[in-house]
Structure 1
Amino acid sequence: MLNPGVAYEKTDFHVGVPGLSNIYASAGNTILNVDNFFNNNDFNANVALAINRISPKDFVAFNQKLDLINVGWSNGDRYFTAGVYQESDGVSNFPKDLIELAYFGNAGQNRSYDIGQINFRANVQSVFHFGINEQVNEDLHLGARVKLYSSSVNIRSVRNSGQFNSRESGSGILLEQSISNLNLRFDSTGLEDADQLSTGNILIGSNFGLGLDFGLSYFFDDRWEFTGSILDLGFIRFNKNTRRDVSRGFFEYEGLGIQFPNFAAGDDLISYYQNLGDDIEQDLPTETTADPYTYVQPTKLNAGLSYNFGGEGSWCECRVNSRGKRAGNQTLSLHGFSMVSAGNFFYSITGMYERSFWKTVYAKVSLGLDQFNKPNYGAGLALDVWKINLFVNVDRLNQFSNIYNAEALTYQFGLNLKF
């Protein structure tokens, strides 16, 4: 699934065990971990230190994938694949100014808070896909995959702007506060009727889109191989069960002017907060519509270079050379990945060492750097026995001794049958 043009193992047919052929989950953030908050120090002091550490460019992200159906079959020099997977992903920046405003308050603070730091997006979708992989010649494989996206749940709020300004009045008693240049937009689908969502309408959503994947694999010789892919060149058009809230304007607030009603003349109690709310609604109107919107999929780029070496190659057609024989039972490789989501740059550069044993057991260790800042040690294990292929991958092994120090965790599991 990472590369529709990879030099595949030429089975006649494969099928993934439904719900088990690929289970993937990843979550992390770029700055904080559990130990930052829960340690031997005072909790309130820890929170203050944590808030001081973050910046508006820091973010938290998650991604989850579950293969529901995955099959493939050969036809001459072509291998066809088809299937359905469910995916959810999201990313949100830390709005540092607003976190400070909420935690510390603005009493005695003569400063401006950036409302434009609000930046997030999340999507839940099902993906129906069909792909073709063709061996063009002895050295080159090309592949493409078409995808139909289906979604009933989506939220996003990006490219916002505005300032909340707070300053002491001349007397030093009252705070003069204002909101300026506010342009805040929130798009959502499926939130208003979330209690009516079921497994069925999450699997087959009410909004659809299209996407494409492309990939290749090229052998320079029987030891060197280059791979590359571009995934999720696509979009979803949300036009059912949508809601758009847009707030724009300016607002000046210099404190409540206390007035005492003349009860003898029949005056009623003055609703100060109701009047304040009316003023805010007048100066900062929120327009709510059911306008459709387009969600652009985060496009992913992968590139890899590998070198095979070691003992006698096993007679198989995985990572084949022109003679159908693998050159060595060991592989050194370098893999790069990049993606942009909600304006945040995701990347990883990973070096890997893989070795096969008895044409049955495949083990891998890796060392990489990514957007979550720390070096990442990972490992993978695969069993290829009879018709069964089983694999497990984990990362952040350097954090397993104290998982509370980890900013991110990822795991992957799969079970497939080959014929």
Structure 2
Amino acid sequence: MLNPGAAYEKTNFHIGVPILSNVYASVGNTVLNVDNLFNTRDFNVNVAESLDRISAKDFVAFNQKIDLINFGWKRKSIYYTAGVYQESDAVFNFPKDLLELAYFGNAGQNRSYDIGQINFRGNLQTVFHIGINQQVNDDLHIGVRGKLYTSSVNIKSVGNTGHFVSKENEEGLLLNQSISNLDLRFQSTGFESFDELTPGNILIGSNYGLGLDFGLSYYFNDRLEFTGSILDLGFIHFSKDTRQDVYQGFFEYDGLSLQFPDFQNGDDLITYYQNLGDDIETNLPEEITSGSYMYMQPTKINLGLSYNFGGEAGPCNCRLKSSGKRSGNQTLSLHAFSMVSAGNLFYSLNGMYERSFWKVLYAKVSLGIDQFNRPNYGGGLALDVWKLNLSLNVDRLNHFNNIYNAEALTYQFGLNLKL
């Protein structure tokens, strides 16, 4: 799935065990871990230090994927693949200014808070795909995969602007406060009727989109291979069960003096926050519409370079070429990945060593850097016995002795049959 043009083994037919052929989950953030907040020190001190540590460029990310069904078959010189997978992903930037405003308050701060730091997106989708993999010649494989996206749940708020300024007046008794250049937008799908969603609604969503994957594999010689792919060049057009909330404008106020109601004439108690809320609602009205919007898929780029060496391993059940190009039972490789989501750069650069044992067991270790951990150690095992292929990959091994110190964790599991 990482490369529709990979030079992998082409059986007559393969099928993934439903729901178990690929189970993947990853969660992480760029700055904090559990131990930063929950340790033997005072919790309030930990919160204050954590707020000081983060910036508006730091973010939390989550990605999960399950292959519901995945299969492929060979016809002449082309290997066809098809399947369905369910995926959810979310990215949320830390709005540093607003978090500090919520925790410390604005009394005595005399500062500006950037409302534009609100930045997030999340999507739950099902993807139907079909692809072809063609061996052009002894050295070159190419592939393309078409995708149909369907979704009933989506949320995003990106590209916001605005500032909240709070300053004491000359007497130091009242706060002069203002909201300027506000343009705050929330777009969502499915949240108005979230309690009515069923597994069927989630599997087959009411909004659709299209996408493409491209990939290739090229052998410079019998040991050196280059791979590359571009994934999820696509979009979803959300038009059903949508909602858009827009806040725009300017607002300035000098604080509200305490008011004493005339209880004898039946007046109710008027609080500061009630008056303030009425003023804000009048000057910054909320506009709610149900118009359509576009969700662009976060496009992913993968590049790889691998060198095979060592004793001859015989047929490799993971990347066999009809030309017999692969040589050796050991591989050194480099893999680079990049993606932009909600304006945040995701990246990784990993060096990997792979070794096969007895033509049935394959082991891999990796060392690299990414947006979450520096360095990052990973490991993988694959078992290829008879017609069964079983794989397990684990990331962040350098934090396994104490996962509370990890900013991120990643796991992957797969079970497939080859016929």
The answer to whether the 8 A contact 1:98-1:115 is kept is yes
The aligned counterpart of 1:161 is 161
Regions of 4+ moved over 2 Å = 257-264, 266-278, 315-323
1:393-412, aligned counterparts within 5 Å? 393-412=393-412
Q: Are residues 296 and 169 of structure 1, via their aligned partners in 2, closer, same or farther at CA, if it must alter by over 3 Å?
A: same
Q: Cα offset for 1:321?
A: 5.7
Aligned partner of residue 401 in structure 1, secondary structure: coil
| AA at the equivalent of 2:170 | G
Is residue 340 of structure 2 the alignment partner of residue 340 of structure 1?
A: yes
Q: 1:227 offset after TM fit, Å? A: 0.3
- Asked if the contact 1:85–1:126 (Cα under 8 Å) also holds between the matched residues in 2, the reply is yes
- Secondary structure of the equivalent of 2:256? coil
For 1:331, the aligned partner's letter is T
Deviates more, 1:315-324 or 1:395-404: 315-324
Aligned-partner residue type, residue 222 of structure 1:
D
Deviations 1:157-209 (A, max 9, x none): 00001111110111111111111111100000000110001111000000000
Q: Deviations over 1:246-295 (max 9, x none)?
A: 0011111212133445677x573473554433221111011000010000
Match of 2:210 in 1: 210
Q: Counterpart of 1:175? A: 175
* 1:381-412: CA deviation from partner (whole Å, max 9, x where unpaired): 00000000000000100000111000000000
1:392 maps to 392
CA contact (8 A) 1:222 1:321 kept: no
Contact residue 233 and residue 299 of structure 1 kept, 8 A: yes
Report if aligned partners of 2:188, 2:244 keep a CA contact under 8 Å in 1: yes
Range 106-115 or range 268-277, more displaced: 268-277
More displaced 10-residue stretch of structure 1: 292-301 or 314-323? 314-323
Q: What is the alpha-carbon root mean square deviation over aligned residues?
A: 1.4
**How many residues were matched structurally?**
418
Q: Does 1:44 align with 2:44?
A: yes
- Change in 2 beyond 3 A, CA 1:118/1:71: same
Amino acid at match of 1:95: P
Name stretches of at least 5 consecutive residues in structure 1 with no aligned partner: none
More displaced 10-residue stretch of structure 1: 357-366 or 314-323: 314-323
Could you tell me which residue of structure 1 aligns to residue 199 of structure 2? Answer: 199
Compared with structure 1, are the counterparts of its residues 256 and 2 closer, same or farther at alpha carbon in structure 2 (3 Å cutoff)? same
Confirm or deny: 8 A CA contact 1:313 1:325 kept in the other structure: no
Deviations 1:68-119 (A, max 9, x none): 0100000111100000000000001000000000001111110000000000
2:327 is matched with which residue? 327
- 1:128 corresponds to 2:161: no
Q: Does the Cα contact within 8 Å between 2:373 and 2:408 map onto a contact in 1?
A: no
Q: Deviations over 1:25-62 (max 9, x none)?
A: 00000000001011121111011101100000000000
- After TM superposition, the score normalised by the length of structure 2 is 0.97
| 1:112 alignment partner in structure 2 | 112
Alignment match, 1:35: 35
State the AA in 2 paired with 1:132. I
Contact 1:313/1:327 (<8 A) preserved: yes
In the TM superposition, residue 317 of structure 1 has moved relative to its aligned partner by 7.0
**Contact 1:188–1:242 (Cα < 8 Å) also in 2:** yes
Residues 212 and 233, structure 2, Cα contact 8 Å, conserved in 1: yes
Distance 1:398 1:244 in 2: 43
Distance 2:345 2:157 in 1: 17
AA partner of residue 22 (structure 1): N
Alpha-carbon distance between aligned partners in 1 of 2:406 and 2:317, rounded to the nearest angstrom: 39
SS of equivalent to 1:9 = coil
CA displacement 1:368-388 (0-9 Å, x = unmatched): 100014211000000000000
Matched-pair contact (CA < 8 Å) for 1:221–1:321: no
For structure 1, which segment, 201-210 or 319-328, has the greater mean C-alpha deviation from structure 2 after superposition? 319-328
> 1:203-225 deviations in whole A, cap 9, x for unaligned?
00000000000000001110000
In the alignment, structure 2 segments of 5+ residues that lack a partner are none
SS of match in other structure, 2:100: helix
For 1:391 and 1:56, the matched residues in 2 are separated by 38
1:17 aligned residue: 17
Matched with 1:268 is 267
Q: CA 1:390–1:297 in structure 2 vs 1: closer, same or farther (change >3 Å)?
A: same
With over 3 angstroms needed to count, the CA separation of the structure-2 counterparts of 1:337 and 1:256, relative to structure 1, is same
Q: 1:387 to 1:320 in 2, by over 3 A?
A: closer
CA distance in 1, matches of 2:322, 2:145: 25
SS of the residue aligned with 1:192?
Answer: coil
Partner of 1:368: 368
Q: Distance in 1 between matches of 2:372 and 2:262?
A: 63
Show the counterpart of 1:235.
Answer: 235
- Deviation of residue 315 (structure 1)? 3.1
Match of 1:58 in 2: 58
CA deviation string 1:326-349 (max 9, x = no partner): 310000000000000000000000
Q: The residue matched to 1:51 in structure 2 has which SS?
A: helix
| Distance (Å, rounded) in 1 between the aligned partners of 2:91 and 2:109 | 30
In the alignment, does 2:146 pair up with 1:151? no
Alpha carbons 1:150, 1:207 under 8 Å: kept: yes
